[in-house]
């Protein structure tokens, strides 16, 4: 699955700072090693300790020592989410911390997601009954240089360069949906995985084209016409509302927000969830993202 490396492409900006998210696992250890082979880059190592596993503090110490060995600044945070924390909660808290560090250094966030992660995420979304956007996974402002590498290629790279890493003790647990899905997707052939990745790429391209058309329809905001959303077909209105809320809302939240746009009184405020607030006049509404 290997293709042209992000670290060898024109996307990499030498003047830019990069916050590299390192969990201590083989994927992020390989990612960091690849970045450190470019001494012209300014790199910050970031590690988030969920406090879910009893041994998670060992991972934090390992990553701190790794950053010190490379002579790189290190940022970390520990939270006590506990063993009952959901995958979604853990992911949200991790990204909140990582984005905070990226903002602090005015840097681009980099994570170690690889090709098999993309396949697993598509499979998870399909299992949950996703819409078409659920296939356009791992597409955001976060840089993911390893998306053209398979897990096996990452392991081969780590062994070839004698890298050391920590295995996450929860990777074998059936308590997590991703682990259960991984056992099924691991049996897929290389060609089958390529087909899924090709579908993902197609959906990402479609998403960008649709977003471009939606922008033409509704404008740049943050104030929008209630008349348009009231009279548009529901599917179109939902797609436009997803765009104006910057994809912060789930499908049920979008449907409830659309109903509010159609029925709320002028001067009222609707809390759509996920930090999205909508203020109404008789003709328009304004979307505010509350941090």
Higher-confidence position of 193 and 84 = 193
Residue 118 has pLDDT above 80, yes or no: yes
Query: Are 154 and 277 in a shared domain?
Result: no
231 backbone dihedrals φ, ψ, rounded to 5°: -95, -10
Of 141, 167, 200, the domain-final residue: 200
Least confidently predicted of 5-19, 72-86, 128-142, 176-190: 5-19
Query: Are 190 and 241 in a shared domain?
Result: no
Region 195-224: what's the mean pLDDT? Answer: 85
Query: Are 157 and 18 in a shared domain?
Result: yes
How sure is the predictor about 220, in pLDDT bands with cuts at 50, 70 and 90?
Answer: confident
Higher-confidence position of 240 and 141 = 240
Region 48-52: what's the mean pLDDT? Answer: 84
Residue 165 has pLDDT above 60, yes or no: yes
Query: Are 194 and 224 in a shared domain?
Result: no
Which domain CATH number covers 283? 3.30.465
Q: Are 47 and 65 in contact (CB under 8 A)?
A: no
Residue 1 falls inside a structural domain: no
- Provide the pLDDT for residue 83: 72
Query: Are 187 and 49 in a shared domain?
Result: yes
Domain count, the chain: 2
Q: How many CB atoms lie within 10 A of CB 249?
A: 21
Mean pLDDT score of the chain = 85
Query: Are 70 and 125 in a shared domain?
Result: yes
Q: Are 181 and 120 in contact (CB under 8 A)?
A: yes
pTM, full prediction: 0.70
Which domain CATH number covers 147? 3.40.50.620
**Residue 216: CB partners within 8 Å, gap ≥ 6?**
none
- Provide the pLDDT for residue 173: 58
Residue 264 has pLDDT above 80, yes or no: yes
Q: Are 274 and 287 in contact (CB under 8 A)?
A: no
- Provide the pLDDT for residue 1: 57
Least confidently predicted of 5-9, 33-37, 118-122, 251-255: 5-9
Residues 84-91: contacts with CB within 8 Å, 24+ apart? 85/50, 85/52, 87/176, 87/177, 87/178, 90/50, 90/52
Query: Are 68 and 133 in a shared domain?
Result: yes
Of 200, 227, 256, the domain-final residue: 200
**Range(s) of the domain holding residue 190:** 6-200
Residue 209 falls inside a structural domain: no
Burial class (CB in 10 A: 0-12, 13-18, 19+), 13: exposed
**Residue 99: CB partners within 8 Å, gap ≥ 6?**
109
Sole residue written with tokens 């989410």 = 81
Residue 48 falls inside a structural domain: yes
Residue 206 falls inside a structural domain: no
Sole residue written with tokens 């945070």 = 77
Query: Are 192 and 237 in a shared domain?
Result: no
Residue spans of alpha helices (H) in the chain? 26-36, 56-70, 87-105, 115-127, 151-160, 177-185, 190-218, 226-231, 234-244, 251-263
How far, in whole angstroms, is CA 13 from its chain's centroid?
21
Residue 205 falls inside a structural domain: no
Residue 95 falls inside a structural domain: yes
Query: Are 80 and 14 in a shared domain?
Result: yes
What totals of helices (H) and strands (E) does the chain contain, helices first? 10, 8
Query: What is the C-alpha separation between 49 and 53, in angstroms, rounded?
Result: 9
Q: Quick one: what percent of the chain has pLDDT higher than 90? A: 46
Query: What is the C-alpha separation between 93 and 179, in angstroms, rounded?
Result: 20
Antiparallel, parallel or unpaired: β 284-289 and 223-225: antiparallel
Of 153, 171, 200, the domain-final residue: 200
Residue 210 falls inside a structural domain: no
Query: Are 179 and 41 in a shared domain?
Result: yes
Query: Are 95 and 164 in a shared domain?
Result: yes
Residue 211 falls inside a structural domain: no
Query: Are 187 and 224 in a shared domain?
Result: no
Residue 272 has pLDDT above 80, yes or no: yes
């Amino acid at each position: 699955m290997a293709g042209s490396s992000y670290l060898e492409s024109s996307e990499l900006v030498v003047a830019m700072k990069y916050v590299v998210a390192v969990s201590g696992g083989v994927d992020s250890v390989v990612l960091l090693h690849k970045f450190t082979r470019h001494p012209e880059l300014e790199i910050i190592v970031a590690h988030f300790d969920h406090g879910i596993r009893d041994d998670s503090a060992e991972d934090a110490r390992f990553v701190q020592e790794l950053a010190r060995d490379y002579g790189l600044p290190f940022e970390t945070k520990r939270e006590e989410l506990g063993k009952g924390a959901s995958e979604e909660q853990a992911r949200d808290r991790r990204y909140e911390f990582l984005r905070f560090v990226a903002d602090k250094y005015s840097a681009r966030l980099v994570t170690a997601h690889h090709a098999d992660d993309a396949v697993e995420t598509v499979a998870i979304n399909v299992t949950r009954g996703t819409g078409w956007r659920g296939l356009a996974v791992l597409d955001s402002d976060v840089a993911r240089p390893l998306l053209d590498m398979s897990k096996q290629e990452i392991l081969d790279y780590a062994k070839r360069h004698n890298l050391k890493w920590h295995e996450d003790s929860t990777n074998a647990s059936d308590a997590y949906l991703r682990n259960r899905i991984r056992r099924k997707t691991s049996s897929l052939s290389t060609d089958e995985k390529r087909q899924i990745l090709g579908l993902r790429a197609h959906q990402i391209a479609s998403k960008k084209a649709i977003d471009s058309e939606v922008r033409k329809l509704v404008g740049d905001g943050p104030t929008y016409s209630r008349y348009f959303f009231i009279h548009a077909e529901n599917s179109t209105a939902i797609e436009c509302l997803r765009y104006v809320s910057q994809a912060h809302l789930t499908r049920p939240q979008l449907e409830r927000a659309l109903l509010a746009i159609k029925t709320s009184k002028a001067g009222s405020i609707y809390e759509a969830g996920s930090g999205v607030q909508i203020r109404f006049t008789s003709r328009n509404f304004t979307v505010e993202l509350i941090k």
